[in-house]
Chains A and B, each alone.
Chain A
Amino acid sequence: MKRLLWPVVVLLLLLVVNLVFTQNFFSIQMRDGHLYGSLIDILRFGAPLILVSLGMTLVIATGGIDLSVGSVVAIAGALACLQISEDASLFTAVALALALSVLLGAWNGVLVAVVGIQPIIATLILMVAGRGLAQLITDGQIITVNSASYKVIGGGYWLTVPFSIILVLVVLAITAFLTRRLALGLLIESVGGNAEASRLAGIRSRGIIIMVYAFAALCAGVAGLMISSNVSSADGNNAGLWIELDAILAVVIGGTSLSGGRFSLGGTVLGALIIQTLTTTIYSIGVPPETTLLFKALVVTAVCLIQSASFRAKVFGRRGRAAPPSPAAPEEKVRVTA
């Protein structure tokens, strides 16, 4: 639990800022049998990011990284919308899009595990080519669809709760069960610790690695469906742009080390929520939205510095262990803006 301390503190801090600056921030209302409120909005708009981050967590736990998720988001949305606009059934469209996502993920996995390419580069290929593919699917246009049932995935409600939140909870529950109740999580961490040693110990490292990349792409595919269904259109160029960076940030903020070997699903969800809350906060307290990226940079640097052992030793070490953590924050900000 100690690992989750900082993310929780940051999230609470953001929520307190909202409490001070925004009226009715914490009120959740029922309107037309649907839940409404700022907190629900954070969850609803953060749903794709949480999904992508979940997949990214497992990839990073194996010591890898997946830069291609943003492109997969665009491809999945594009394919689904194209199918629906050509009068395919919802099921076919969704199934095709998700199948293609898994295939692309497996391709990444094979490049990493079988061919032995560095993950950052292996997935860079699909990151670059994938945007082209997505535009190829949409023929460079923005495909708009008019399907009420497709709209449900990203913008609909089920039992008064936004459907996307339910979808995230289901994926989270399944992932948590598979990795924390079964041995799978242990195997993933073991591969991340040392893939070769794990193989010698009788773990099928290759299979595990291919599986996590496929899972990350599947999550990205679902997120792509959500994003495209929420706006009822697919944009090969801009859908999911930079979501891979946000997802990696969410994972890092959540305390999963980029060098692999251990991961925290709860931390990742917290990290994704921090990023989404930050975005919402900036809108609600009236700071120009253009500065979102600045705040993001500050938060990222602050969180990474706090988590860095050598930074803690340098800053807190000199003033003794008991020094309050608050002086650290302004100091970093100066350093970043300098």
Chain B
Amino acid sequence: MTTAALDLSRRIPAKYVPVLVTGCLFVAMFVVGGIRYEGFASGQVILNVFVDNAFLLVVAVGMTFVILTGGIDLSVGSVVALSTMISASLMKGPGWPPYLVIPLVLVIGSVLGMVMGYIIHAFDIQPFIVTLAGMFLARGLCYTIGTDSIPIEDATFTAFAQTKVNLFAGMWVSPSVVIAAVVVLVAAYVLHYTRLGRAVYATGGSEQSALLMGLPVARTKITVYTVSGFCSALGGVLLSFYMLSGYGLHAVGMELDAIAAVVIGGTLLTGGSGFLLGTVLGVLVLGLIQTVISFEGTLSSWWTKIFIGLLLFVFILLQRLFSARRT
């Protein structure tokens, strides 16, 4: 460690350092991109990252809750796919209206999450295995509904897909981004200003201590998986706005993107430490990598995966350094 870094970490509380590092990385990527590519340094580029990743942002918010308690949820990608599939098939086949379909999908996602949370808590089985079973279940349900992509032609959905919410100076976002922003704000409020939020951090910090303090650990654990299920279902709805189709192969591997975003955002995987703002920055960094690669033009799409892997490595190493110094 250089002395400069030490000075810095003395002035700034250690818990903010990972988020700051991610923030700096984002700014640095944006500046370098702006210098290298023409038309990169505009607000719309950043807004487009939001537009293209609104669903991932919502899913990552749910994942943040789970990871803060020290758990993990592998089922999110499948639940996203299941949500797109259910909404597409219900609107195409029986012709259900969207105001019935969307709440139904959200309820299904939440119930799935709650059941997984209940099994994890009540039977003391590792979250990894339970959510893995949930992942298989949701993907399997997708394929039982249908193996082909189902187009969505509903007027409300297409309106959501095509509407542009104008901000200032000609910049715009999609309605999905607005929904995602609301989710982020509500989640940040819950995490930092409510009892549930404190219980989430306490459970992740030390389940034993939280239990001895009289915190409702059982309820908290079941709640976070329910929140994650709800967020995945909502992410699925946003994805169906974006794709205008339901397909069993949508969002394959999205759980990895969500986990990567949370980790890059500085949340400790052992739980108990991290911020929602970090997750937002994590999603932005992931999205910006894709933007940079598309601006570069000559780089193939698989470089995205390699870069994300490298970033994960660097950030985990950083986390390791900081947590090692604190103890």
> Taking A121-B263, A131-B305, A300-B132 as contacts, is the C-beta distance between A338 and B269 under 8 angstroms?
no
Interface residue from B111, B132, B313 paired with A249 (Cβ < 8 Å):
B132
B312:A125 contact, CB within 8 angstroms = yes
Q: Which of B47-55, B119-127, B183-191, B207-215 lines the interface with chain A?
A: B119-127
B144 CB to nearest A CB, Å: 6
A291:B123 contact, CB within 8 angstroms = no
Chain A residues positioned under 8 Å from B310 (CB to CB):
129
* Binary contact readout B212-251 vs A (1 if CB under 8 angstroms, 0 otherwise): 0000000000000000000000000000000000001000
Query: Chain A, interface size: which category?
Result: 35 or more
Nearest A residue to B304 by beta-carbon distance?
A132
B129:A300 contact, CB within 8 angstroms = yes
B72:A124 contact, CB within 8 angstroms = no
| A184-206 interface with B by 8 A CB criterion | none
Q: CA–CA, A44 to B299, complex, Å?
A: 39
What number of residue pairs across chains A and B have CB atoms under 8 A from each other? 139
Main SS at interface, chain B: helix
Q: CA–CA, A59 to B312, complex, Å?
A: 22
Nearest A residue to B259 by beta-carbon distance?
A124
B144:A297 contact, CB within 8 angstroms = no
> Taking A115-B317, A248-B132 as contacts, is the C-beta distance between A126 and B309 under 8 angstroms?
yes
Interface residue from A131, A135, A336 paired with B137 (Cβ < 8 Å):
A336
> Taking A128-B305, A301-B119 as contacts, is the C-beta distance between A294 and B269 under 8 angstroms?
no
A245:B132 contact, CB within 8 angstroms = yes
Chain A residues positioned under 8 Å from B260 (CB to CB):
124, 128
Nearest A residue to B115 by beta-carbon distance?
A338
A291 CB to nearest B CB, Å: 6
Chain B residues positioned under 8 Å from A159 (CB to CB):
none
Nearest B residue to A332 by beta-carbon distance?
B119
> Taking A125-B313, A131-B302 as contacts, is the C-beta distance between A335 and B128 under 8 angstroms?
no
Is B194 in the interface zone, CB < 8 Å from A? Answer: no
Q: CA–CA, A336 to B147, complex, Å?
A: 22
Q: CA–CA, A40 to B86, complex, Å?
A: 39
B292 CB to nearest A CB, Å: 15
Chain A residues positioned under 8 Å from B125 (CB to CB):
304-305, 308
| B112-150 interface with A by 8 A CB criterion | 115, 119, 122-126, 128-130, 132-137, 139-141, 143-144, 147
Q: List 26 A-B contacts (CB under 8 A).
A: A115-B320, A127-B256, A131-B302, A131-B305, A135-B300, A135-B305, A140-B302, A248-B129, A248-B132, A249-B132, A258-B126, A258-B129, A291-B143, A291-B144, A292-B140, A293-B136, A293-B139, A294-B144, A297-B133, A297-B140, A301-B133, A304-B129, A308-B125, A310-B122, A335-B119, A338-B115
| 8 tightest Cβ-Cβ pairs between the two chains A and B | A129-B309, A132-B305, A293-B140, A294-B140, A290-B143, A297-B137, A135-B302, A132-B306
